[in-house]
Structure 1
Amino acid sequence: MVSESFALGGRPPVRRLGYGTAQLTGPGYWGPRGDARDAVAVLRRAVGRGVTLVDTADNYGPSIAEELVAEALYPLHRLDPAVPVAEQLGALDELRAEGKIRHIGLDSVTAEQLQEALELTDIALAWLLHRSPVLCPTPGTGSLAHLEENLDAGAVRLTAEEMATLG
């Protein structure tokens, strides 16, 4: 019997049949290949069919394949003022916390929206600390300001109602 999944590097299991992005770039893995919309459609279809391992590298293009993956799978270009920021960024923040994406980029946001997005990290860390006394989150950063924000999360106290709302 052939296993359909594999625990790659001790991480959550991935489907053994993945998708390689090299062919989304031009000849010799250089430059674009055709219409970017076609590449985005291919990537979205692969994920729609259950692919959980997408193999890419920054030298494909260079950087073109990774940009296409980002556009296809993490498409939050603008915040919708009618939807809470936490709702819009929540799933992306979870993926970032799991190490599946490294950064979340925002475009065309107000100062208030940016502040709320930054506070999400504090709330996420506080939530983890409240979930279990044996969880030890270890968020990494190269920024002093971000380090301060992360460590300040230890002082955030969430009520039972807030914990229920957050899940």
Structure 2
Amino acid sequence: MTNETTSLTYNLGGDLQINRLGYGAMQLTGNGVFGEVADRDNAIKVLQSAVEQGVNFIDTADAYGPHYNESLIADALHPYKQGLVIATKGGFNRPGPNNWVPNGKPEFIEENIEGSLKRLKVDAIDLWQLHRIDPKVPVEETLAPVVDAVKAGKIKHVGLSEVGIADIERVQKVLPIVSVQNLYNLGERKWEDVLDYTTQNDLAFIPWYPLASGPHTLAEKIEKIAAKYEATTAQIALAWLLKRADNILLIPGTKSISHLAENLKAAEIELTEEEFEQLSA
């Protein structure tokens, strides 16, 4: 199912009007998403260029670096342009490169929230997302400091990441959420049911790793469609996601200013119903 005309904006949480093609900052870190980015000056230019080109939704996390990514965003963009929405996440320990350990202990989550506020230089986080539900800690306990932070005005909206429908419904009993960030792209659609659920329940769906252009079986079809639009396969993959559902917010990441401009141009591609169906098959 798709909408016939694709809206390029989305109202997140009822009060944040954002452009659906945003930017994911994870790549602006060291190898294995660990440590400082190799070329900091370039990273700052990429972030500034994104905002100059109309991006007003940037996704980061306490765990990227850890900590370095949030500080980089503040160094590049603070004081923030009016309307710029910065989403961050908490709930991962980072013992080393490519090493991600869920930590849902309430004191750790509280530390994440306070650290993000400081590093991003904000009084309130626009969207705070639980990076993962820790199987060792009841999610109600994990979220207790999040509930407190919302009440204190330190967090405006809350989201989840890599969750199923049952997880979403369990969390909704604790506090309202406005978004779900799961792995989803042209070639990986295991969260199709969650995407449909978010669409029906007016929640944003933020696919991570959105640039993957799918299995080899799709290669020929994508190349043919890309040639018609004089586009790259990555642009077609993003255009397919934009058409898939109006609540999908895209956060492709890159360290390159030219790739950034290329990704943002995907918003200009309106696939036909037939092309969409060919790629969805």
Interval containing the TM-score (normalised by the shorter chain): 0.3 to 0.5
For normalisation by structure 2, the TM-score amounts to 0.28
- Structure number with greater CO (CA < 8 Å, separation at least 6) is 2
Which structure features the higher share of strand residues? Answer: 2
For normalisation by structure 1, the TM-score amounts to 0.46
Which structure features the higher share of helix residues? Answer: 1
